[in-house]
Structures are given as structure tokens and as C-alpha cells.
Structure 1
């Protein structure tokens, strides 16, 4: 029987490969070691290869595309409903083939190497920022045990620490001072690492035409622009700007029945990191809208007057995502009328 579709349950060393024919019936469903996987897939050059969009899927997608094969990366939440029986590798691989046959399935293209470099830098930076936040919270907790409470703000805490360590009148013991000095050194190391990543992201933004076009939009700077390019590429994975906004969780959630439509707050699905950056950029647009007279700022003021600031910020972030898609898809410069 001819193999028309191959579903792969990805792993580190041993992959589960399920091949089905045109009728959707399994031809084989077996384990394949990593060094044998590519050779097996190349035996069926006309088959469609489907995988879950997870760690390693972009590498295999790029590799198979270089060999002229058709590849689909399926979001894991679209595969889960097709898992029958107990969860195991055989059923997971067959579920991938079932999901890949759905006519309305939305897939994602494999990331390019340039996109992968950008997104990895953002992920490392996000981890460093989270660890720095945890470090500052721990320092505040330690100081509170000695009766020292400082105003909110990372910069205020950092500037006050050297004086606290030199002050002999507070209740800090010698052991506590040594511990806080070590934490302060670690804090400086985190700051230096984040600064290095920021400079590298800025260099990537300056060297990318797509990022330069995105940075002409209010509320979008180097980090947001490079994150958008890393996530959406040239925008051709989405049919329109609304699809990108929906993918980022910037559209209203819906709970409708019986012909009655009920819309709620933002769905908050998809890329949390990029959605947070767009929301922060939207706050910047709204705060400065009263001193600007471009179309986006005027529209932001009107929405804020009608619906309030918080709903306006969600609407502005949605519009920023749509504008960004248009700039990436059509490769044109932003024209703020």
C-alpha cells in the first residue's frame, strides 16, 4: 500500500513513526532510532510528514524541507482530541496523522535559523530577568527579617544596599552582611548578562529590514520588533492580521449559545512573552496619546474615552499586531496618516 502521510512523535533518541495510506489506515507504526529516521523518511519522498510543534520540530522540519518534502507542524492542542485509548507513543503518532488530515487545520511553518537565533536570545534574556526578579525578592525578604523595609523599585533597592551594608547601627549581623554582599555581586552579574543580551538584540534589530519597518510603529522598539520577526517571520503563516492577533491571545473570548453572542476579555492564548511586550507597548502609546496627533494616537484616545484605559490597551495591542502583520506580509513601510 502507498504511504501518503507520516506522523512522527518526536523524542530525543527513539521516535515513533506512524505511516498511513490514502484511506487513513496504518501501514506501519513502529519505533525508529534517531540515526535511522531521515533515511526512513526519504524512502517516501511523496508523503506528507506531520509533527507536533515542539522542541526539535523546527530542526526536523528544515531538514526535510531541504530534501524537498512537505512538512506540517501541528500545535499540540490540536492533536490531543484525536488520541484514542491510553496515552502512549503509538497512539500519539497515529493521532498526529488523524489531526493532519483535518481540512481546516492551521499549521505553523518551521522557523528559519535566523528566527531561531532571535527567539533563543529572547528566551535566555527572559530567564535572566526572571532570575533577577527572584533574587531581588529574596533580598527584600532577608532584609525584612532584620527589620529593614525599603521602598518598591529595583533601582531603589540596588542603590540602598551598599549603604545598609556599611551602616553599623542596623541589626544586620556579620553573617548577614556577607550573605547580602554575595547576593549583590550575583545581582550585578545578572545585570551585566541582561545588558549583553540587550546589545545583541539591538544589533539584530539594526541588521533586519523587517525589524526596522516594525520599529516605525509607535509602541514597538527593538525587543518587540525582533520578537515579532522571530515569531511570525514574513507573516505568511497567517491569512490576515486578525489571525496573528488571535494567535497572540489579543482577541475577545467568546461564550455564545442559542444565537446569543457573549464576548468577554482577552483570550490570553499563545505566545505569552510577545503578548506582554505588545501590551506594554500599548500602554506607552496610550500614555503619550494626548501629545501626538497621528491616526493611532487619536484612535487610542477615542477608545479610552468610550471604554476605559484597560480595554483600550487591549484594543491598541490588537491593532499593533495587525499593523505588524501587514508590514511583514507586504514588506512595506508604515505610513502613519
Structure 2
């Protein structure tokens, strides 16, 4: 049997293709099996330890990795965006993908993804449920507004989707039966989604106060633009903030400029957009709030600052002033707003890291 084996797995919903490689003897074993963690474990266990297994991150999640780790198998998950592929390589099959993974693992060029604990993954699912519900509600409301606008009907006030606005919507009627049915259905859909989102927000509030990220969530809420749902999303998406530094957190979230340099020339382009898309979106949305005038904390921030330790309170106040001054400097230079906001979001990520890391260093994260 092999003395030391590296195994690449190409995991799909219908099957798993394995490629086992022994660099010392150059022996290669290939196998296609059912996508059952027990079946995969049985095949991996045939090889003489030590054995190391890798598969690519994707929609199949981390169930297989957790199953193998519980059985004592060293299994890692590779970041799909970091896999090497030759520019001229036009052939992509499951067997080739498994072989490439095994070869990259053997030479130590695999960029590993942190495997979250099951409870952490469930919190992420709740946060993303909330994001999807908010997006669906915005689309439904756009449909209602579009129907009214196409037929020359405009709400006379600037603030919409208040109680008064909803009553006004129910008073609108059309002569064509088909149009009336479509309008009523769109209004009903918007109201149902609003109630659905309210139930999710209630669950998020209850979960955020009881989960292990509660201290981090409370600290993040001390920054402008970050309220409960945003803080909850950032806390559960990043998970272990101690993995990063104040500079690497921006790179992880894809908020740093891309670069194409050769010889003496250096060209920086748009941000890389690598890493966690949802967390980056939350930071970019929050960064806009720091453009608003700021002299002292508002009522919400004052209440939130009372709930955290003095060191966290001081750091958060420093961050709020710093980020607002940065926005003022960008505006004074007539910097393009979108680019300026991205730069503010990158620095906001660093301030979030500076608030969360001390709390997690005192209370280390549990291993999955």
C-alpha cells in the first residue's frame, strides 16, 4: 500500500470522482463512487496513512469534509477561485479536476477554505435568508411602482411604503380587469413579502442576542451604518476575525485594487471582488452612511455605546470620526463617489476587525 497519499476529490451531487497520488512510488488510483460520505470514507480508508484529502469548495458544502475529519482523515477544502489552470487548457473533465487537485495538494499549492462549524453555517443561512427576502421585497415594490408610473399615477408624497401609502395603493383602480388583477396581485405580493421580512428580522434579533457572536455584533453596531442585520451578517460571514490583520481583511473581502504590473510599469484597476460577496455588499452599503454630517453620536449610537466595554466604545468613536473625515477629504478632492465609497468600505472593514478581534482573542473560537 501507499506510504503517503494525496487524494483529490471532484465532488458533485450525483457522484464523486477520486484521484489518489503517491509521490514516492508514483502510484495512481482512480475511482468513481456515490456521493455518500460513508462510501467516500470507505474508499479513502483503504490507503495506508498518513492520507490527505482535498476537494473544491462549491454547492455541496462541507458535509463531506466534516465526516472525514470526524473519522480522523486530514481533509481540506480548496478555494475554487485560487485553483491554477493553464491558459491553453481547454479540456475539463471530472477525472482531470480530481487529478489537478491531488497534484496541487502534493506540492502544497492549495489555498484552503476555513470550514465553519455546523451552528455557524446555520447562522449564515439565516443571514442570507434575510438578504434574499429584502431583495425580493424591493423587486416586488418596484413592480407596483412601475405599473402606477406606466399609467400616469404618482403618489403625491416623497415617503413611500408607510401606512398612509399602503392605504393609498388600495384605493387605486383600473378599468381593465386584467390590469386590475395584475396590480392587486403585485400589491398583495409586496405586502406578503413585507410581513415575511418582518418575521425574519424578529428571528434575527432573537438569534443575534443568544449566539456566540453576540459580543462582536454589539461592538460592530457601534459604527455608523451598521445596525443589527448588518452586524449579524458581518459577524457570521467572517466568523473568526483573528485570522486576519487590519490590512488583510480588505484583501479577503475583495476590496483592494486589482493590479497588472510588468517591469517598471504599474497599473491598478477595479477592486478584485474576491472572497465573500455578501460581506463586501454589507460593508459597501454601510460606508455610504459615513458621508452624512456627523458631529456627535445619535440616539441609537448612544444607546449602543452604553452596552459595550469602554475600550470598544472609544475605538468605535474614533472610527466614526475618522471615516467621516475621510469622506470629507474625498468630497473636497471631488473624488468619484463610487470609488470613494469603496475606499471607505475597505477602511470600515479594518475598523470592524479592530473591534471584533480583541473580543475573540479573549474568547477563542471553537474548532468545527
Are 2:349 and 1:315 aligned?
no
Match of 1:38 in 2: 41
**Higher RCO structure, 1 or 2 (CA under 8 Å, sep 6+):** 2
TM-score (norm 2): 0.78
The alignment's C-alpha RMSD in Å is: 3.1
Match of 1:299 in 2: 322
Among 41, 52, 55, the residue aligned to 1:48: 52
Match of 1:111 in 2: 116
* TM-aligned CA distance change 1:193 to 1:80, over 3 Å: farther
Q: Contact between 2:9 and 2:55, CA under 8 Å: does it hold in 1?
A: yes
TM-score (norm 1): 0.84
Q: 2 CA distance for matches of 1:270 and 1:182?
A: 38
Match of 1:77 in 2: 81
Match of 1:99 in 2: 104
Match of 1:29 in 2: 30
3-state DSSP of counterpart to 1:269:
coil
* TM-aligned CA distance change 1:209 to 1:284, over 3 Å: farther
Q: 2 CA distance for matches of 1:158 and 1:279?
A: 30
Q: Contact between 2:23 and 2:106, CA under 8 Å: does it hold in 1?
A: no
Among 117, 121, 127, the residue aligned to 1:122: 127
Are 2:116 and 1:88 aligned?
no
Match of 1:246 in 2: 251
* TM-aligned CA distance change 1:258 to 1:5, over 3 Å: same
Q: 2 CA distance for matches of 1:285 and 1:226?
A: 19
Are 2:90 and 1:62 aligned?
no
Match of 1:283 in 2: 288
The alignment of Structure 1 onto Structure 2 pairs a total of residues equal to 331
After superposition, the C-alpha distances for 1:180-212 in whole angstroms (9 at most, x for unaligned) are 222222222111111111122222211134342
Q: 2 CA distance for matches of 1:176 and 1:42?
A: 64
Q: 1 CA distance for matches of 2:159 and 2:64?
A: 42
Match of 2:205 in 1: 202
3-state DSSP of counterpart to 2:58:
coil
Match of 2:277 in 1: 272
